[in-house]
């Protein structure tokens, strides 16, 4: 199980929102009073972000962004990764930039000198350790075709994209360009549905993408049900099976389910002693899964490492592990 599927320069290149998360604990009543959807991400403009931030409790800030979290996790596991995403040359941009390089992610997208500030995501962690998010997309919205480095896409075994990017037209164009380059080079495309509301906003386009362009799909139970507009997980999973080569559905404490046209495999996970903050659980699952995949592991082993990475990040605040993750690799596969 040590055969790699690729000897490319990069195992994975990701394209995603470049965001600094600002986390605080909050109770459920506060989430309701702010008009946010518990467990989901709401896009907010600068004015609303400012108002929400003023009402927020004491905070801690960590780099975030779904695909960026996955790549940071993969790099910490020992993979070679690259990231494309847009920050401004401001203090939050410097933090985001630092945290990518500190863990060894190749990240050379030109910083903006003017325009909207580096994106931030207000993350409210409720007593059940669930996270609710309000994102000011800021500089992220400016990622464009010009930022897609053809050479880097060609030299990555997998190109990984987040559904959240579908919210801006320039980013969508950038993604389409990346997909075209990757497919021409014979590389794989991985995609995450990101969020149920994101699926609601872009269901038809996502279904088309999955059918034609995506090789590996990540979703959680809520997202896969939303995609197929059913409340029945079994129906959603049966529709997902064979929708593309590999579909990996995360299922919280139940672990994950991996679907291919040949089979459906439930991969359980170990219970976590104390869940502090579930922010990044899905992102870090993808880290472990993609790490295994680019090393030629079987899918159950990929899912096991994914489960393990998710289990680790939910014991910490934020979606980036402050401690190296490579120790998690040894017991997997």
Query: Quick check: 239 and 232 in contact, CB under 8 A?
Result: no
Residue 118 C-beta: closest distance to a second copy, Å: 8
Residue placing its CB nearer to a second copy in the complex, 55 or 110: 55
Q: Is 115 in the site for a second copy (CB under 8 A)?
A: no
Which ranges of the chain would DSSP assign to H, the alpha helix?
28-33, 46-55, 66-77, 91-102, 150-154, 169-184, 196-212, 221-227, 233-240, 281-293, 299-313, 327-330
> Which of 171, 178, 267, 317 forms a contact with a second copy (CB under 8 A)?
317
Nearer to a second copy, 63 or 109 (CB): 63
Q: Is the Cα dihedral 126, 70, 217, 183 positive or negative?
A: positive
* Residues 276/311, Cβ–Cβ less than 8 Å: no
Q: Could you tell me how many residues make up the chain?
A: 333
Tokens of 74: 């993969």
Radius of gyration of the chain (CA): 18
Q: Is residue 58 near a second copy by the rule CB under 8 A?
A: yes
Q: Is 330 exposed, middle or buried (0-12, 13-18, 19+ CB in 10 A)?
A: exposed
Q: 54 vs 151, which CB is nearer to a second copy?
A: 54
313 with 167: CB under 8 angstroms?
no
Examine residue 64 and tell whether it contacts a second copy (CB under 8 A). no
Q: Which is nearer to a second copy, 221 or 312 (CB)?
A: 312
Q: Does 188 bind a second copy (CB under 8 A)?
A: no
Helix or strand or coil: residue 157? strand
8 Å CB contact between 270 and 280 = no
What binding mask, one character per residue, do residues 118-147 give for a second copy by CB under 8 A, x or -? Answer: x-----------------------------
Binding residues for a second copy restricted to 5-34, rule: CB under 8 A: 22-25
State the DSSP code for 112.
Answer: B
Of the ranges 36-44, 213-221, 231-239, 313-321, which one interacts with a second copy (CB under 8 A)? 313-321
Residue 171 sits in the site that holds a second copy (CB under 8 A): no
Instruction: Give the nearest distance from C-beta 30 to a second copy in angstroms.
Output: 12
Answer for which of 32, 33, 35, 91 binds a second copy (CB under 8 A) is: 91
Among 320, 328, 329, 332, the residue binding a second copy under the rule CB under 8 A is 320
Residues 230-289 that bind a second copy (CB under 8 A): none
Interacting residues with a second copy (CB under 8 A)? 22-25, 53-54, 56-63, 72, 76, 90-92, 95, 98-99, 101-103, 117-118, 317-318, 320-323
């Amino acid at each position: 199980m040590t055969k790699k599927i690729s000897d490319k320069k990069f195992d994975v290149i990701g394209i995603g929102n470049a965001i600094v998360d600002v986390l605080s604990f909050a109770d459920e009543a506060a989430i309701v009073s702010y008009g946010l959807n518990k467990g989901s991400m709401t896009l907010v403009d600068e004015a609303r972000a400012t108002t929400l931030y003023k009402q927020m409790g004491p905070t801690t800030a960590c780099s975030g962004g779904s695909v960026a979290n996955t790549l940071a996790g993969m790099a910490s596991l020992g993979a070679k990764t690259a990231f494309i995403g847009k920050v401004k040359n401001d203090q939050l941009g410097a933090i985001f930039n630092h945290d990518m390089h500190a863990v060894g992610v190749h990240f050379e997208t030109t910083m903006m000198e003017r325009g909207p500030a580096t994106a931030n995501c207000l993350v409210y962690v409720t007593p059940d350790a669930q996270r609710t998010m309000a994102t000011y997309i800021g500089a992220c919205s400016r990622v464009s075709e010009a930022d897609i480095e053809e050479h880097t896409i060609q030299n990555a075994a997998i190109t990984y994209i987040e559904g959240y990017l579908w919210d801006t037209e320039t980013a969508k164009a950038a993604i389409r360009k990346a997909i075209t380059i990757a497919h021409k080079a014979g590389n794989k495309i991985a995609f995450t549905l990101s969020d149920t509301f994101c699926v609601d906003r872009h269901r038809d386009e996502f279904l088309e993408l999955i059918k034609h362009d995506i090789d590996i799909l990540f979703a959680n139970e809520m997202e896969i049900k939303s995609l197929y507009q059913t409340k029945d997980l079994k129906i959603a999973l049966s529709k997902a099976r064979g929708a593309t080569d590999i579909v990996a559905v995360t299922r919280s404490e139940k672990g994950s389910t991996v679907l291919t046209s040949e089979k459906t495999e439930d991969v359980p996970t170990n219970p976590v002693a104390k869940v502090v903050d579930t922010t990044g659980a899905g992102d870090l699952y993808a880290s472990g899964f993609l790490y295994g995949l680019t090393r030629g592991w079987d899918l159950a082993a990929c899912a096991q490492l994914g489960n393990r990475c998710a289990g680790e990040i939910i014991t910490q605040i934020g979606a980036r592990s402050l401690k190296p993750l490579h120790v998690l690799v040894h017991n997997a596969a």
